[in-house]
Amino acid sequence: TSAPNHTPPPTQRPAQTQQPQQTTSAPWSGGATTVDSNTPWHPQTQPPQTQPPQTNAPWTQPPQTNAPWTQPPQTNAPWTQPPQTQQPQWTQGPTQGAGGAQNIMEFCKSNSDGIHADPTDCAYFIECAGGATFREPCAPGTAFSTSIKTCDRIENAHCDHAA
């Protein structure tokens, strides 16, 4: 026997209602986007684009400095009063006379070099140098002192043969 020819009826799909497509404009989408109402909608987001902040380098006015300055010192030229010297008074000493007195200008022939008291007058002293005799006066108001070998005030000189 033959089997009955049985063709299954075509399967029917349930009728789908098409829903209209909607067009929307999302603020982040950058324009119009078509959205199918059957498809869940997932907006595509763009990564945020940020501009680097613009900053200006801090600016300060450079300090104004003046070069160091020192007023030069005021100096006066050195000044010394010129020394006041007295003209040497060369005198001829006593000559050897009848009484056997010695010539004072021959004093250093028998005495050593250096300063010596004048044996005839305390207002003078004798300097011997290389056998030569130099008879020199003390300043006015002074006499030769044998203790300090220079001229000193008359009262300190202790001279017993003043002229």
The DSSP H or E segment spanning 34 is: strand 31-35
pLDDT for 95 equals 43
The average pLDDT across 105-131 equals 92
Q: What is the pTM of this model?
A: 0.39
What does each C-alpha distance from 112 to 2, 102, 137, 148 come to in angstroms?
A: 187, 17, 20, 18
Q: Are 138 and 123 in contact (CB under 8 A)?
A: yes
Type of residue found at 26: A
Report which DSSP code applies to 113.
S
- Tell me the per-residue pLDDT of 43-56, one tens digit each, with 9 for 90 and over: 677 777 888 778 77
Tokens standing for residue 147: 């203790």
pLDDT, the chain, mean:
74
Instruction: Tell me what pLDDT residue 99 has.
Output: 45
